[in-house]
Amino acid sequence: MSAVEHSAIAQQRGNWASTSWLGFTLVGAIILFALVTPLAFPADPAKQSLRHVFAGPDLAAPFGYDHLGRSLMARLAHALRLSLSIAGAAVLSSSVVGIAIGVLAAWQGGWVDRFASLVADSFLALPGLLLVLMVSAIVPLQPLAFWVGLTLVLWIEYFRLTRAAVQRLINSPAVEASRLLGFGPIYVFRRHFWPALAPMMLTLAAFGMATAIMSIAALGFVSVGMRPPTPELGLMMVELLPYYREAPFALMTPVIATFFVLLGLNLVAGGARS
C-alpha cells in the first residue's frame, strides 16, 4: 500500500473519529441538560397555571410555558430523562441477552444453534411497534412495558451479529490454542471474542438507542404510549400540535430536542462503524 493510500485512510479515520466525538459531545450535552435542569430550575413539570398559558420565557421557565401553563423546560428535561432511561435500559438488557445467546449458539452449534435461530426469526416476523404494543397490553406499568417490549425487539440484532462473528472466530488458531491450554469460556470470550465484537456492539447500541427513542416518541405521538400528564417527547408533540399557529416555538421544542438526540446517536454510530 502506497504512502498516499495510508494518508487517505488515516485522514478518513480521523474524520470518522471527530464525527464520533461530535456525537458523544452532543449526546452528553443533552444528558447534562436533562440532569441539571431540575436542580437549576426546580419546577414541577405537571403543575398547571392558567395565568401562564403560552407565556413567554421567564426566570422560572426559560423556554416559556405550554397550553396549560406548564414549564416547557421542566417538561422537556423530564421527557428526555424518561426516554433516555428507558432506551438505555432496553439497550443494556437486549445487548446482554443477545450477546449471551449468540455466543452460546455459535459455541454449542447443533440443535442449540437451530433453536436460538428459530426463536430469533419468530420475533423478527413481528413488527417491532406491534410487539411493544402487545407487551403494553399485558404489563400495567408503561415504562416497564416499553423496557420489556423494546428488549424483545432489539436483542435479535445483537444475537445475529454475535453468532456470525463468533462462528468465524471459534475455529481460529488463537481460540483453539486457548481451549487446548485449558482456558474457560469466559477467558476465551474476553480475550478473543470481545475485541472483535466491541466496535459492532457500540454501533448497535447507538442505533438501538435511537430506535428505542423513536419508538417511544412514535407511540406517544399516536396517543398509545405514555399517558398524560407524563412528559414524553411524542406526547408533548401531539399535545402542542393543535396550537402550532399560536405558539410554534412551543411545538418545536420537543421536535428539536428529538432531532438532536437522534443526530448525536447516529453520529456516534457512524464513527464507531468506521
Annotate the chain with DSSP letters as a single string: --HHHHHHHHHHHHHHHHHHHHHHHHHHHHHHHHHHHHHHS---TT---GGGTT----SS-TT-B-TTS-BHHHHHHHHHHHHHHHHHHHHHHHHHHHHHHHHHHHHH-HHHHHHHHHHHHHHHTS-HHHHHHHHHHH-SSHHHHHHHHHHHHHHHHHHHHHHHHHHHHTTSHHHHHHHHTT--HHHHIIIIIHHHHHHHHHHHHHHHHHHHHHHHHHHHHTTSSSPTTS--HHHHHHHHGGGTTT-HHHHHHHHHHHHHHHHHHHHHHHHHH-
| Neighbouring C-alpha atoms within 13 Å toward the C-beta of 75 | 30
pLDDT bin (cut points 50, 70, 90) of residue 271 is: low
The total of other beta-carbon atoms located within 10 Å of residue 69's CB is: 16
Q: Over 90: is that where the pLDDT of 184 sits?
A: no
Q: Over 70: is that where the pLDDT of 2 sits?
A: no
C-alpha span between 48 and 68 (Å, rounded) = 6
Q: Among 159, 72, 147, which Cα is nearest to 121's?
A: 159
C-alpha span between 236 and 114 (Å, rounded) = 44
pLDDT bin (cut points 50, 70, 90) of residue 12 is: very low
Task: Please give the model's pTM, rounded to 2 decimal places.
Answer: 0.88
Q: What are the two backbone dihedrals, phi and then psi, of residue 71, each rounded to the nearest 5 degrees?
A: -65, 120
pLDDT at position 273: 57
Q: Over 70: is that where the pLDDT of 4 sits?
A: no
What CA–CA distances, in Å, run from 74 to 53, 160, 232?
Answer: 15, 40, 11
Chain centroid offset of residue 268 CA: 11
Beta carbons within 8 Å of 223's beta carbon, 6+ residues apart: 235, 238
Q: pLDDT tens for residues 222-258?
A: 878 888 888 999 999 999 999 999 889 999 999 999 9
pLDDT bin (cut points 50, 70, 90) of residue 272 is: low
C-alpha cell at 14: 480521523
Mean pLDDT of all residues in 193-202: 89
Averaged pLDDT score across all residues of the chain: 87
| Neighbouring C-alpha atoms within 13 Å toward the C-beta of 171 | 6
Between 59 and 180, the more confident residue is: 59
Mean pLDDT of all residues in 156-164: 94
Residue % of the chain over a pLDDT of 90: 56
Cis ω for the linkage preceding 229 (within 30 of 0): yes
C-alpha span between 7 and 242 (Å, rounded) = 54
C-alpha span between 205 and 265 (Å, rounded) = 9
Beta carbons within 8 Å of 164's beta carbon, 6+ residues apart: none
pLDDT bin (cut points 50, 70, 90) of residue 64 is: very high
Q: pLDDT tens for residues 98-117?
A: 999 999 999 888 899 999 99
Q: Over 60: is that where the pLDDT of 11 sits?
A: no
